[in-house]
């Protein structure tokens, strides 16, 4: 059933609709007529409310005339609704604002309603802007309602568009015979959908008469969709044929222009399609594609491709928000600031504006893992917006003819943009999308200056190279210069998931055999260093946060810093969000580099889980993304701090499970009086954290007689021998000679501290516990002698957790303890005797607080927000003392403060300032 509000709108009695049904007020402005290029259009003010005006034009003019009218109306009412209509449809337009840096840009959003459609979205919108008849609202409240109705539409467009494309994709997929090779099918669907997108944009962006493509589908294909494949094929051919070779067009093709470029060149034979596909195309045509950002194409196509293909190629599409987090601090903010500054220069302004425009024209931008081109698209759009702002200002102050300005030629052009992508289909989408964003920028140019270049047939295109970016010489794709910018989001493939071939690529690029834990994405860093070996460009990559944690940091950043690059800006770890359905969950950082001292570096921090970046003031950024000396922490065989004792791996049974006794076997083993003598508690990470019972047979002191006389020991020791003999490792086979012993025994002979190898990233502290030497520590944990509890206190402090999280590695996302990286490098300076005693006592208080709840395992004790008040207090007291021991003058409040203290001590200790030998590398 059609809503009464829609019925009224369809009667085109807008005055009644607004005044009677929606409770707005009477009009307060006479009609306005605007002329442009010999044509005119009149708009009538039908209703108003506190400065907001509703205007109606009884026609649908072309975009230039429409823009001229809107510009005129904008002078008297910033916020306005402008309705154009003819007999069949009405188009409601509303300026949507978007904050970019310190400025706000405005673009017209539109809702198109075809008469006769039930169109629930339209009914909802009208309902939202209905005002209460008995209360007077202030202008802000009314504005908020109108924005709620119309701005929301702009935000939701992306999602709707993704869904429509997914529908088209699956409708096409079903039409292919099962025998079609999948790669061929995917390729053809991708090519076709890219073309359909282009055509829908064409309908909405004045490439030809409005609705030409949708009318072609509606009027020149059968309702059952049986000939739509053939008709589309004919249309694609026609679009690829130059005017002088066209002959007489088939019915429906008149009006389509020659496109050129590669978009329609490849011959694709479409399968027999159906009504479902045809309906999906027509519904997609009904959207307003002019205002949909082509940057979403990546996520659009991600939604329809299966997760496995996506993982193989490391595709995790970047939202526009994250792209701007990369591009703004890398170069856009600086350009915008320059524009703002120029505006204050008085008589020099025009000259400097022209120079800034020339500078924009020299910029070259390359994304070497460009996917569907979203980074290049956004970079292009933002630079075009800047150029437009300059042109508008020039027109304002010089009165220069905008036609002339535009005729001089735009400085920011598609051929300044480059991409490399290994997968062919997204590369194709990227090429098409660049053309579409160009079109959108031209519409803005028309709206602002009343003129835009005619782009058909296509003359200029972005260069998208299909190939492996790690085997491609980037200088051949885009020759580097001081004005070249490289930025993108290379694939997220950790050292575990990279293939043998990808490892080989990394070895070649880093020119080393040992690439250890280097992420595949570091290959892009190596390429960027090579690419910019001579030139001082700027570059930035989104990467998983593994590149700023643990072992990979030193080998990667040594290379970066040695070549004179600094971190120009960084976004610290934030959770990755993608607009696509089924998006991967990862944690990312964004790092940008230049070889300059200015502007000052910028650091963006994320506090809490809401992922909102906060810019913090810094003077430098080191490889761990803290405002600290530029140290690189490497593996170290001995401890940097004289206060710490040696940490070793626990003991390794290598027994095929024969020494290990679980709860279900305990009774049987303990029933053997000889075996029982040798049963010991056996601790790994799980036992430590979750109080799980486990034992082992610890036969270090077992006599030959016991080993022979006990049936249990005979069987288990025999089993261990067999297990070792069957091993492929010669060293293990050799250990078969001593089948009653663990093959690595590091069991402490004094009370010791047991440190788990891995803990959950959600623990508020790194959890460790002390044991007597008769409890055997497995090789899943680390141990260090700790007779007085000092080591326990240190590991239990927030300072230690901060160090672990900052420089330690991870197993997936869980912090992974390491003696060589984390412990041996912990920069604890000499601690005075009295402070040491107080730290030990504070550590005991932590143990005491744990003991007050013997029913809780350590895992239960250390649940964030569920710790007992006693335990929280004990840790807080301990933290104050350990902060002081590390040299902090006041208790640290945040992780960043602790990081600064830790790196300052590390810098001093490794420089030998605090009595320790000079070790580790420093880059300044």
Ligand X SMILES: C[S@@+](CC[C@H](N)C(=O)[O-])C[C@H]1O[C@@H](n2cnc3c(N)ncnc32)[C@H](O)[C@@H]1O
Rg (alpha carbons) of the chain, rounded to whole number: 34
CA gap 666, 13 in Å, rounded: 87
Report the nearest approach of ligand X to the CB of residue 132 (Å). 45
Residue 552 in the binding site for ligand X (CB under 6 A): no
| Residue from 52, 165, 469, 826 binding ligand X (CB under 6 A) | 469
Nearer to ligand X, 414 or 469 (CB): 469
Residues 6 or more apart whose CB falls under 8 angstroms from that of 329 comprise 568, 569, 592, 602, 604
Task: Choose the binding region for ligand X from 42-50, 116-124, 192-200, 488-496 (rule: CB under 6 A).
Answer: 488-496
| Residue from 488, 650, 809, 843 binding ligand X (CB under 6 A) | 488
Nearer to ligand X, 92 or 474 (CB): 474
Residue 198 in the binding site for ligand X (CB under 6 A): no
Beta-strand ranges (E) seen in 800-916 are: 809-811, 814-816
Task: Choose the binding region for ligand X from 31-39, 277-285, 476-484, 486-494 (rule: CB under 6 A).
Answer: 486-494
Report the nearest approach of ligand X to the CB of residue 327 (Å). 12
Tokens of 203: 């309908």
Residue 526 in the binding site for ligand X (CB under 6 A): no
Report the nearest approach of ligand X to the CB of residue 500 (Å). 14
Q: For the beta carbon of residue 97, count every other beta carbon within 10 angstroms.
A: 13
Site map (CB under 6 A) of ligand X, residues 429-468, x = contact: ---------------------------------------x
Report the nearest approach of ligand X to the CB of residue 201 (Å). 20
CA gap 365, 361 in Å, rounded: 11
Kind and range of the H or E element at 570? strand 566-575
CA gap 807, 821 in Å, rounded: 8
| Residue from 27, 225, 314, 629 binding ligand X (CB under 6 A) | 314
Nearer to ligand X, 70 or 579 (CB): 579
Q: For the beta carbon of residue 758, count every other beta carbon within 10 angstroms.
A: 17
Nearer to ligand X, 325 or 896 (CB): 325
DSSP string, 196-229: HHHHHHHHHTTSSSTTHHHHHHHHHS-TT-TTHH
Nearer to ligand X, 2 or 573 (CB): 573
Residues 6 or more apart whose CB falls under 8 angstroms from that of 256 comprise 208, 212, 213, 216, 235, 238, 239, 249
Tokens 């908020």 — which residue? Answer: 144
| Residue from 281, 370, 603, 839 binding ligand X (CB under 6 A) | 370
Residue 225 in the binding site for ligand X (CB under 6 A): no
Report the nearest approach of ligand X to the CB of residue 366 (Å). 12
Tokens of 240: 């690829």
Nearer to ligand X, 168 or 369 (CB): 369
Residue 317 in the binding site for ligand X (CB under 6 A): yes
Report the nearest approach of ligand X to the CB of residue 165 (Å). 15
CA gap 514, 802 in Å, rounded: 28
Residues pairing with 539 in the sheet: 486, 593
Tell me the three-class secondary structure of 359-403, residue by residue: HHHHCEEEECCCCCCHHHHHHHHHHHHHHHHHHHHHHHHHCCCHH
Interface with ligand X: number of residues (CB under 6 A) = 24
CA gap 302, 578 in Å, rounded: 10
Nearer to ligand X, 119 or 320 (CB): 320
Residue 325 in the binding site for ligand X (CB under 6 A): no
Report the nearest approach of ligand X to the CB of residue 148 (Å). 30
Do β-strands 52-57 and 566-575 pair in parallel, antiparallel, or remain unpaired? unpaired
Nearer to ligand X, 317 or 561 (CB): 317
Closest residue (Cβ) to ligand X? 371
CA gap 539, 359 in Å, rounded: 18
Report the nearest approach of ligand X to the CB of residue 474 (Å). 11
- Using alpha carbons, select from 719, 653, 643 the residue that is nearest to residue 683: 653
Report the nearest approach of ligand X to the CB of residue 491 (Å). 4
Nearer to ligand X, 329 or 491 (CB): 491
- Using alpha carbons, select from 579, 264, 287 the residue that is nearest to residue 428: 264
Report the nearest approach of ligand X to the CB of residue 423 (Å). 4
Residues pairing with 92 in the sheet: 83, 111
CA separation, residue 618 to residues 125, 595, 695, 862, 891 (Å): 46, 17, 52, 33, 20
Residue 27 in the binding site for ligand X (CB under 6 A): no
Residue 540 in the binding site for ligand X (CB under 6 A): no
Nearer to ligand X, 485 or 696 (CB): 485
Report the nearest approach of ligand X to the CB of residue 487 (Å). 10
Task: Choose the binding region for ligand X from 142-150, 254-262, 366-374, 877-885 (rule: CB under 6 A).
Answer: 366-374
Q: Which of residues 113-142 bind ligand X (CB under 6 A)?
A: none
Residue 380 in the binding site for ligand X (CB under 6 A): no
Site map (CB under 6 A) of ligand X, residues 417-436, x = contact: ---xxxx--x----------
Phi, psi of 392 (to 5 degrees): -65, -45
CA gap 707, 722 in Å, rounded: 16
With the CA atoms of 850, 851, 855 and 858 taken in that order, what torsion angle do they form, in degrees rounded to the nearest 10? Answer: 40
CA gap 16, 117 in Å, rounded: 21
CA gap 547, 500 in Å, rounded: 20
Residue 586 in the binding site for ligand X (CB under 6 A): no
Nearer to ligand X, 542 or 874 (CB): 542
Report the nearest approach of ligand X to the CB of residue 492 (Å). 6
Report the nearest approach of ligand X to the CB of residue 577 (Å). 12
Q: Are 161 and 399 a contacting pair, CB within 8 Å? A: no
Query: 3-state class of 426 per DSSP?
Result: helix
Report the nearest approach of ligand X to the CB of residue 486 (Å). 12
Report the nearest approach of ligand X to the CB of residue 608 (Å). 25
Q: Which of residues 273-312 bind ligand X (CB under 6 A)?
A: 298
Report the nearest approach of ligand X to the CB of residue 170 (Å). 21
Residue 375 in the binding site for ligand X (CB under 6 A): yes
Task: Choose the binding region for ligand X from 11-19, 283-291, 484-492, 758-766 (rule: CB under 6 A).
Answer: 484-492
Q: Which of residues 638-677 bind ligand X (CB under 6 A)?
A: none
**Count of all residues that appear for the chain in the document:** 924
Q: Which residues bind ligand X (CB under 6 A)?
A: 298, 313-318, 369-371, 374-375, 420-423, 426, 468-470, 488-491
């Amino acid at each position: 059933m059609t809503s009464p509000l829609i019925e009224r709108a369809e009667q085109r009695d807008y005055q009644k609709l607004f005044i009677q049904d929606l409770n707005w007020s009477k009009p307060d402005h006479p009609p306005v007529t605007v002329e442009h290029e010999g044509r005119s259009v009149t708009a009538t003010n039908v209703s108003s409310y506190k400065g907001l005006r509703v205007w109606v034009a009884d026609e649908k003019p072309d975009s230039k005339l429409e823009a001229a009218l809107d510009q005129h109306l904008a002078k008297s009412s910033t916020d306005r609704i402008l309705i154009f209509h003819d007999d069949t449809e009405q188009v409601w337009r509303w300026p949507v604002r978007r904050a970019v840096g310190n400025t706000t840009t405005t673009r017209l959003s539109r809702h198109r309603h075809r008469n006769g459609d039930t169109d629930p979205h339209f009914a909802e919108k009208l309902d939202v802007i209905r005002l209460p008849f008995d209360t007077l609202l202030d202008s802000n409240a009314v504005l908020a309602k109108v924005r709620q109705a119309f701005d929301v539409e702009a935000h939701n467009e992306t999602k709707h568009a993704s869904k429509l494309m997914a529908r088209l994709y699956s409708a096409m997929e079903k039409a292919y015979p099962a025998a079609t090779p999948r790669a061929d099918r995917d390729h053809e669907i991708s090519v076709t959908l890219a073309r359909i997108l282009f055509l829908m944009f064409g309908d909405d962006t004045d490439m030809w008469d409005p609705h030409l493509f949708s009318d072609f589908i509606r009027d020149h294909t059968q309702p059952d969709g049986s000939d739509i494949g053939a008709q589309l094929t004919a249309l694609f051919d026609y679009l690829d044929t130059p005017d002088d070779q066209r002959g007489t067009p088939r019915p429906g093709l008149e009006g389509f222009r020659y496109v050129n470029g590669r978009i329609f060149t490849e011959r694709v034979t479409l399968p027999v399609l159906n009504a479902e596909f045809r309906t999906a195309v027509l519904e997609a045509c009904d959207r307003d594609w002019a205002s949909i950002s082509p940057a979403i194409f990546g996520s659009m196509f991600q939604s329809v491709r299966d997760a496995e293909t996506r993982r193989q190629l490391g595709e995790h599409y970047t939202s526009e928000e994250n792209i701007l987090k990369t591009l703004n601090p890398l170069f856009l903010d600086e350009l915008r600031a320059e524009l703002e500054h120029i505006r204050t220069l008085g008589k020099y302004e025009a000259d400097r504006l022209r120079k800034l425009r020339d500078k924009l024209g020299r910029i070259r931008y390359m994304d070497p893992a460009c996917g569907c081109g979203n980074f290049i698209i956004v970079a292009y759009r933002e630079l075009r917006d800047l150029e437009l702002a300059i042109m508008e200002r020039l027109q304002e102050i010089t009165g220069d003819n905008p036609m002339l300005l535009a005729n001089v030629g735009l400085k920011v052009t598609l051929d300044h943009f480059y991409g490399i992508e290994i997968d062919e289909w997204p590369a194709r989408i990227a090429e098409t999308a660049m053309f579409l964003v160009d079109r959108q920028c031209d519409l803005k140019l028309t709206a602002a200056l009343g003129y835009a270049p005619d782009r058909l047939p296509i003359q200029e295109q972005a260069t998208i190279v299909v190939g492996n970016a790690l085997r491609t010489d980037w200088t051949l794709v885009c020759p580097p210069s001081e004005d070249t910018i490289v930025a993108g989001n290379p694939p997220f493939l950790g050292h575990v998931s990279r293939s043998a071939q990808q490892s080989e690529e990394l070895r070649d690029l880093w020119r080393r055999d040992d690439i250890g834990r280097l992420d595949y994405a570091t290959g892009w860093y190596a390429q960027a260093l090579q690419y910019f070996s001579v030139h001082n460009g700027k570059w930035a990559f989104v990467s998983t946060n593994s590149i700023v944690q643990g072992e990979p940091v030193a080998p990667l950043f040594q290379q970066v810093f040695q070549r004179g690059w600094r971190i120009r800006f960084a976004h610290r770890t934030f959770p990755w969000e993608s607009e696509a359905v089924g998006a991967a969950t990862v944690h990312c950082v964004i790092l940008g580099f230049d070889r300059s001292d200015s502007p000052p570096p910028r650091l963006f921090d994320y506090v809490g889980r809401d992922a909102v970046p906060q810019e913090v003031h810094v003077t430098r950024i080191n490889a761990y993304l803290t405002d600290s000396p530029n140290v690189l922490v490497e593996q170290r065989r001995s401890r940097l701090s004289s206060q710490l004792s040696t940490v070793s791996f626990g003991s390794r049974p290598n027994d095929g499970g024969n020494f290990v006794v679980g709860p279900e076997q305990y009774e049987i083993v303990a029933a053997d009086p000889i075996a029982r003598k040798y049963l010991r508690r056996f601790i790994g990470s799980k036992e430590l954290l979750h109080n799980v019972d486990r034992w082992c047979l610890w036969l270090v002191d077992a006599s030959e007689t016991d080993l022979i006389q006990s049936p249990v020991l005979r069987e288990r020791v025999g089993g261990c021998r067999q297990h070792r003999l069957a091993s492929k490792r010669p060293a293990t086979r050799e250990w078969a000679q001593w089948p009653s012993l663990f093959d690595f025994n590091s069991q402490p002979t004094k009370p010791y501290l047991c440190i788990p190898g891995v803990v959950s990233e959600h623990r508020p502290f790194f959890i460790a516990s002390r044991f007597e030497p008769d409890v055997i520590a497995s090789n899943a944990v680390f141990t260090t002698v700790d007779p007085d509890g000092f080591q326990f206190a240190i590991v239990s402090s927030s300072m230690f957790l901060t160090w672990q999280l900052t420089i330690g590695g991870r197993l997936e996302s869980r912090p992974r303890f390491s003696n060589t990286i984390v412990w041996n490098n912990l920069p604890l300076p000499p601690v005075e005797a009295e402070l040491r005693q107080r730290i030990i006592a504070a550590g005991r208080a932590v143990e005491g607080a744990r003991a007050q709840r013997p029913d809780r395992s350590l895992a239960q004790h250390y649940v964030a927000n569920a710790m007992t008040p006693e335990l929280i207090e004990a840790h807080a007291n301990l933290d104050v003392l350990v902060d002081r021991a590390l040299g902090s003058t006041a208790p640290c409040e945040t992780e960043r403060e602790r990081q600064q203290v830790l790196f300052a001590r590390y810098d001093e200790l490794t420089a030998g300032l605090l009595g320790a030998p000079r070790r580790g590398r420093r880059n300044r």
